[in-house]
Amino acid sequence: MQEQIELFKNGRNSKTSSTPPSQDIGRSNQKNSRVPSSRKPGGQQGHEGSTLEMKEYPDKVVTYSPEFCQGCGEKLDKGALTLVSHTQEVVIPPIVPHYIEHQSFGCTCKKCGHETISALPEHLQQANIQYGANVNALVAYLSVRQYVPYNRIAEMMRDVFNIALSEGTVNNMLKSLAQKALPVYEQIKQRIMVSAVVGGDETGVKINGDKGWLFTFQTTVLTYLAVSWSRGFDTIQFLFKNGFPISVYVTDCLAAQLKTFAKAHQICMAHLLRELNNFTDALDCQWSVKMKQLLQQAIELKAQLSPNDYLHENEKVKNLEIQMDILLKTELEGKHKKVQAFIKRLNKNRNAIFTFLHHPKVPPDNNGSERSIRTAKVKMKVSNQFKSLDGAQGFAILRPVIDTTIKNSQNVLEALSSLAKLAAV
């Protein structure tokens, strides 16, 4: 226990922060904070499954017919053949790029002598040859959606699609598409500013060897990302200078997030529960056990509330509020300084604890924002870092378009192809 307390004094564990699990004390004895489900593993009752089905009209038919009788060796009559069985296999034909030539013709007017030349489509540049929109979209899909590094994209385009691309060309394609996506990116930001509920979070990213930050602001149907060298309030203020005056802002307890102006704030219950678990495991703190039980009751109540329950004062909610106030008035003397700081923080942000019990669309956690920034963590895991600030910003522009497309049940590759067909901004 003493060893645990000493470690606790020096920092949090993986349940309460980004500390890797490998640095936790008693790692093999760590308890999973998730409550076991009563459901059995695998597909649930009523789940609509899917299976590979045969095509009614196959693209190609290959027949197999016997020549001789396997009994006596007599040659068989082909006119007496009957179909016994059939099976299909799905194959990918050799992928060969198509070269489309666009020809512009001109004609001189016999009356005035003026030569009129037909215009080429806007997406065609002045170069003699260029890659089509679907090639640009596929490169962006592989890089930003599937996290494939530049060198592997070049290899895949060569080996699978028979298209020779250099890493420099991959980079140029991504920069060009990010420029074309700017109007959509800005529209996402404007729509988030007028949303009823907004989640915010941030995570560290490596940019050419230096520490940067990726911020997210998201709703159930929108995702917005932005790169900054600062994790502070100045970044949020620069992006949303008026804050979120008509929104409930759901975040963790970072001071910069809680300082952001909003109609109301909601602190992530999952973050609070992880800290309480840490107090219980490392300090055997009984106050944290009671607070954890209270927060869990509130989360359970949220799942039971109907839309009408939010229209008037709810006795169950009122009772939880009273219990919260009693726990927050606890005597601090004798408690660990970390616990004292935690209680003071909750008192300071008392109005942001149970906001989710008063607004039907406000979640008790900030998991949506954590999912939004997890994409950058996967990118870091695969490629280690962004090689330039431009590359990081390009990711921050294109990824929101992709995530917003996914949230609205649309096809990602088709969305990127539509962007690629636009004229350069």
Q: Show the 3-state SS of the chain.
A: CHHHHHHHHHCCCCCCCCCCHHHCCCHHHCCCCCCCCCCCCCCCCCCCCCCCCCCCCCCCCCCCCCCECCCCCCECCHHHCCCCCCCCCCCCCCCCCCCCCCCCCEEECCCCCCEEECCCCCCCCCCCCCCCHHHHHHHHHHHHHCCCCHHHHHHHHHHCCCCCCCHHHHHHHHHHHHHHHHHHHHHHHHHHHCCCEEEEEEEEEEECCEEEEEEEEECCCCEEEEEECCCCHHHHHHHCCCCEEEEEEEECCCHHHHHCCEEEEEECHHHHHHHHHHHHHHHCCHHHHHHHHHHHHHHHHHHHCCHHHHCCCCHHHHHHHHHHHHHHCCCCCCCCHHHHHHHHHHHHCHHHCCHHHCCCCCCCCCHHHHHHHHHHHHHHHHHCCECCHHHHHHHHHHHHHHHHHHHCCCCHHHHHHHHHCCCCC
pLDDT at residue number 1: 47
In tens, the pLDDT along 361-418 reads 999 999 999 999 999 999 999 999 999 999 999 999 999 999 999 999 999 999 999 9
CB 245 within 8 A of CB 263: yes
In angstroms, the CA 115 to CA 105 distance is: 10
- Phi, psi for residue 197 in degrees, rounded to 5: -135, 130
In angstroms, the CA 400 to CA 189 distance is: 10
CB 104 within 8 A of CB 117: yes
pLDDT at residue number 316: 95
CA distances from 210 to 315, 388, 392, 398 (A): 52, 10, 12, 22
Q: Is the dihedral of CA 403, 404, 405, 406 positive or negative?
A: positive
In angstroms, the CA 343 to CA 350 distance is: 10
In angstroms, the CA 216 to CA 200 distance is: 6
pLDDT at residue number 19: 62
In angstroms, the CA 120 to CA 238 distance is: 41
CA distances from 250 to 22, 128, 197, 253, 254 (A): 30, 51, 7, 10, 11
In angstroms, the CA 77 to CA 66 distance is: 10
Average pLDDT, the chain: 90
In tens, the pLDDT along 182-191 reads 999 999 999 9
- Phi, psi for residue 114 in degrees, rounded to 5: -80, 135
Structure-token pair, residue 65: 């017919």
Q: Is the dihedral of CA 267, 273, 276, 282 positive or negative?
A: negative
Nearest to 354 by CA among 268, 277, 237: 268
Nearest to 399 by CA among 236, 231, 223, 240: 223
Kindly report the pTM of this predicted structure. Answer: 0.84
Residues 6+ apart with CB under 8 A from 85: none
Q: Which domains does the chain have, with CATH numbers?
A: 175-265+366-420 (3.30.420), 269-365 (no CATH)
Q: Which residues pair with 197 in a beta bridge?
A: 248
Structure-token pair, residue 176: 């060009």
Which segments in the chain show pLDDT lower than 50? 1-7, 9-11, 25-28, 30
Q: Specify the pairing of strand 210-218 against strand 223-228.
A: antiparallel
